[in-house]
Amino acid sequence: MDYIALIALIGLFPKERVPLLLSQLMIFITLPVLIFGPIAGVLVDRWHKKTVLVVCDTLRTVCALLIPVLFLITDNMYPVFIVVFVMFLLALFFNAAHRAIVPNLVTKKRILTANAVVNFLSRGATFLGMLAGGIIVDMKIWHDIFGIAGWTAAFILDAITFAVSAVLLYIMKVRLPEIPKRVEHLKPKGFFLLLRGGLARMWHEVVHAVRIIFHEKNLGFAMATIFLLVAAGSVIYILVIPTVQQEMAWGTSGVGYLAAIGSIGLLFGAYLIGVFGHHFELKIVMLFSFILVGGALILFPILTNFWVFAIVCLICGTAASPIFIGQDTLIHRYADEFVRGRIFSLKDWMLNGLFALGAILVGFLATLMDKNYLFVISGIGVAALAIFGWLILARGKGNTVSQGNA
């Protein structure tokens, strides 16, 4: 809802300024992850995770209310962008704590199901939030009755959702292990000790997390799948959208419809993995999903019928959910309590950074060769690497996951 309201806010400016403002908005949204991603995990591992969740949503309530106030006072987007930066920085800490706390709320046997439920609700809430945001922003009732713009109402309503979330998290009961007393800087005041100690100590903690990833092959597998995810996602983002919008002449509405169908696939995939996932080897399910995504990439250049394209998007979305859920579940199962936040932050940092690099690379390659070749090459590459990984697992080199899969 915030994102839709921000787009509506930018739409108030002259049309020649809108593209630049939208690009600047994306910069302020992504910078917190790129700059503070690993550091956020270091700090979350030292703090009480429930407290982090409550404080972040409380502050995001303030930020959502502050945006319309600042814009109305200054009539300038740059103070708004600063608040957006802070808001997404808080989201970075929230997401790290949110995912790290899941194993403390359910038994080990229910981690996969819990991740599926969280993923299902998150995807559904995002889809409904964007849909509701578009409706709310365009409603004339806000101006006629309350004398405020639709985008202002959207920020106010979103602030209410953050406030409700903070209250629900505050009353949530969870048992968290005591932070080791023997390490002084593992207490909340560790934030100031880390500042005093400088970046060297933070860097040491990040390196320690990376070593754990390399040492624990299940965590290494989860991180390695990010490269396949980025390879497929970059091609879809850079090549599929202009293909649908321009070459197929289905327009922006066509992109929206296909994105909605893909979102339904994400929901369906989350449901399937939550209900049936515990019957199968998790890493095999993830690799099979990559094979389906690779197959979809190969098919995209030859699709000309909208509904056939929609079916492939549905399959692609369905296959993507087990990948996201599988990554989180492997981290929950094999990352220690006091390193879990760092692992998730590193995962987000890698995903965002590599996706940006992947998008630039795909865009550059698209100027050198026919995009249809890029579809086929990337599809074959993703599917082939997934099959190769499957063969390795079949030889018994990844059987440790199955022991915790019940």
Check which CATH number belongs to the domain holding 97 and give it: 1.20.1250
Q: If DSSP codes are grouped into helix, strand and coil, which group holds residue 62?
A: helix
Read off the pLDDT of each residue in 200-225 and give the average, rounded to a whole number.
82
Please check whether residues 191 and 231 belong to one and the same domain: no
Domain ranges, residue 117: 2-197
What single-letter DSSP state applies at residue 118?
A: H
Please check whether residues 275 and 235 belong to one and the same domain: yes
Structural domain ending residue among the three candidates 178, 197, 216: 197
Look up residue 1 and give its two tokens: 């809802």
Structural domain ending residue among the three candidates 174, 197, 220: 197
Residue 398, pLDDT above cutoff 50? no
Residue 168, pLDDT above cutoff 60? yes
The predicted pLDDT at position 337 comes to 76
Please check whether residues 131 and 257 belong to one and the same domain: no
Residue 85, pLDDT above cutoff 90? yes
Nearest partner of 121 among 109, 113, 111, 132, judged by Cα: 113
Q: Which residue has the higher pLDDT, 297 or 8?
A: 297
Cα torsion 87, 90, 91, 97 to 10°: value is: -170
For residue 405, is it within any domain?
A: no
Residue 253, pLDDT above cutoff 60? no
Total domains in the fold of the chain: 2
For residue 406, is it within any domain?
A: no
Structural domain ending residue among the three candidates 173, 197, 221: 197
Residue 22, pLDDT above cutoff 80? no
Q: Which run of H or E residues covers position 312?
A: helix 306-334
Residue 262, pLDDT above cutoff 80? yes
Rounded CA-CA distance 257/136 in Å is 20
Provide the H-helix boundaries in 15-149: 18-44, 49-74, 77-100, 111-138, 141
pLDDT range class, residue 190, cuts 50, 70, 90: low
pLDDT range class, residue 9, cuts 50, 70, 90: confident
Write out pLDDT tens, residues 271-300.
898 888 888 888 999 999 999 999 999 998
Give residue 241's identity as a one-letter amino acid code: I
Please check whether residues 262 and 349 belong to one and the same domain: yes
The predicted pLDDT at position 404 comes to 44
Report the percentage of the chain scoring pLDDT > 70. Answer: 88
Please check whether residues 225 and 374 belong to one and the same domain: yes
* pTM value surpassing 0.85: no
Nearest partner of 209 among 381, 43, 38, 395, judged by Cα: 38
pLDDT range class, residue 184, cuts 50, 70, 90: very low
Please check whether residues 49 and 155 belong to one and the same domain: yes
Q: Which residue has the higher pLDDT, 55 or 395?
A: 55
Residue 109, pLDDT above cutoff 90? no
CA-based end-to-end distance of the chain:
38
Rounded CA-CA distance 61/33 in Å is 20
Rounded CA-CA distance 30/50 in Å is 25
The predicted pLDDT at position 258 comes to 79
pLDDT range class, residue 186, cuts 50, 70, 90: very low
Number of Cβ within a 10 Å radius of residue 181:
8
Rounded CA-CA distance 372/379 in Å is 11
> What letters, b where the CB count within 10 A reaches 16 and e where it falls short, cover 80-112?
bbebbbbbbbbbbbbbbbbbbbbbeeeeeeebb
Do residues 137 and 3 lie in contact, with contact meaning Cβ atoms separated by under 8 Å?
A: no
Residue 136, pLDDT above cutoff 60? yes
- Tokens 């321009």 identify what position? 246
Residue 260, pLDDT above cutoff 50? yes
For residue 213, is it within any domain?
A: yes
Lowest mean pLDDT among 95-104, 176-185, 294-303: 176-185
Nearest partner of 49 among 99, 115, 122, 119, judged by Cα: 99
CA distances from 189 to 69, 89, 196 (A): 33, 20, 11
